[in-house]
Amino acid sequence: MMGLSSATFYEQLPGFSTFQDFYRVKWYVPLPVDWFVVITDVAGSTRAIQAGRYKDVNSLGVASIVGLLNAVKPLQIPYVFGGDGATFCIPPSCRPAVEAALVGTRQMAKESFDLELRIGMVPMARLQGDGYRVLVGKFQPSSQYHQAMFLGDGLGYAEELIKSPAAD
């Protein structure tokens, strides 16, 4: 798996096709050090859901995915949906377009739903420097479908950084 280009890292990543391979580390490679981990999160989502606004919260999580994927088209990037937000990994070349898309999504969240969409970007170099890892795999049961898979503690740490009061 050596020789993967940074910008097209995920597109070039060989996929695995069986559930048995989910936890086989041989199918995972470190996220390139020049990439960014991007986190979106609806602040106060638990309270909003308790108030019956589950669909609003979920819609904003999906909106962040749609906005970001449109911003990086046609590039494939790894991401995972979390219900009230999502986690993405992007190459540095996509940073300006992603920032613009997510700022627009955050504005829409406030104006249309009266909810706050937290957005944050953590350089992989920072995660690595702090001793955290992000390993990426690609589950690909068919040529028409793939799903990013992650191992390591880096995504959880990135989310902690974004959600911490010091990040506001």
* Confidence bin at 148 (pLDDT 50/70/90): very high
Q: Which of 42-46, 57-61, 93-97, 162-166 has the weakest average pLDDT?
A: 162-166
Percent of all residues in the chain with a pLDDT value above 70, rounded to a whole number? 95
Backbone angles phi, psi at 152, to 5 degrees: 105, 175
Q: Residue 85, Cβ neighbours under 10 Å: how many?
A: 24
Mean pLDDT of the chain: 92
- Answer whether 151's CB lies under 8 Å from 137's CB: yes
Q: Tell me, which fold does domain 13-167 have in CATH?
A: Alpha-Beta Plaits (3.30.70)
146, 126, 124, 125: which is closest to 137 by C-alpha?
Answer: 146
Q: What is the pLDDT of residue 75?
A: 94
Q: Give domain limits for the chain.
A: 13-167
Q: Does pLDDT of 146 surpass 80?
A: yes
Q: What is the CA radius of gyration of the chain?
A: 16
